[in-house]
Structure formats: C-alpha cells, structure tokens
Amino acid sequence: MAIESQQRESLLQAAQQARLSAYTPYSKYKVGAALLTESGKIFTGVNVENAAYPVSICAERTAIFKAVSEGERKFSAIAVVTENGGSPCGSCRQVMAEFAPDMQVFIAKTDGTIDLETTVKELLPAYFGPGDLP
C-alpha cells in the first residue's frame, strides 16, 4: 500500500522529532521511529538504552509496541531516522514482519535525506511469520 508524499513527510518529521527524546547515554546513537497505522494514526518510538545492554529497546519496536498496546494491528509505513541512515536491526525486522510484511520502510538521515525506501519483506525476505506455526 503506497502512502502519499505528505504522509511520508509527516512520518519523517515525527521520527526526527521523536529522535530528540532517545535515551542513549552509552552509545550516543539516537534513533527515532514513526509508525503509520492503516487507521491513519502515527505512533512514535525512540531507542532506550540500559546499563544492562540486553534489556535496551530499539525505536522501531517501541513504536510498534505502543501501537499494539493501543489496539492497532495493521500498519502502512514506518520511518526510521538516525544520524547516518542506519537500518533496522534483525529483531526489529522480525517484529515488523509479524504485523506487516508489506509495510513501507523509509530509512533517513537527520538532514532529511532518505537513504532507502523499501518494504519489510525486502529487508527480511525469509522471515518467520504467523503462517509458519501450526
């Protein structure tokens, strides 16, 4: 499902704004994400680090979990903004695939440059999904 350019710009701006609230005292690598639901709502997320590194969480999963906790299950697009256009990690790709393998993904830098426009399926082509379970 293609989204309009105005929606894409709104997502990128929301991700950029969210990024400012990231909690990154260790890596200093701030990530902001903005998730567009099929109902038109936008949920933002940031990465939150922890001194016990494995319990940290990424911005993409934060946005998705916020949306799910509010009853949303269908997603159209997600924008991810980092200083250098970093791509979602494997865990985030797997969570995105759980809900929306066809979702559009926009990966951008803080200057607004979109480094990659893709889909979750293209980021994680052989994902393990609900259909793989009995």
Just give the CATH number of 5-132. 3.40.140.10
CB 56 within 8 A of CB 24: no
Cα pseudo-dihedral 7, 107, 104, 94, rounded to 10: -140
Q: Give CA–CA dist 34/42, Å, rounded.
A: 6
pLDDT class of 1 with cuts at 50, 70, 90: low
Residue tagged active-site, from 60, 72, 98, 122: 60
Would the CA dihedral through 58, 76, 109, 33 be positive or negative?
negative
Instruction: Give backbone dihedrals phi and psi of 124, rounded to 5 degrees, phi first.
Output: -140, 75
pLDDT of residue 21: 98
Q: Where do the structural domains in the chain lie, given as residue ranges?
A: 5-132
Task: Mark whether 4 is an active-site residue.
Answer: no
Residues 16-73 have pLDDT tens digits of 999 999 999 999 999 999 999 999 999 999 999 999 999 999 999 999 999 999 999 9
How far separated are the first and last CA of the chain, in Å rounded? 28
Per-residue tokens: 56: 């940290």
Q: Give CA–CA dist 15/119, Å, rounded.
A: 17
pTM: 0.95
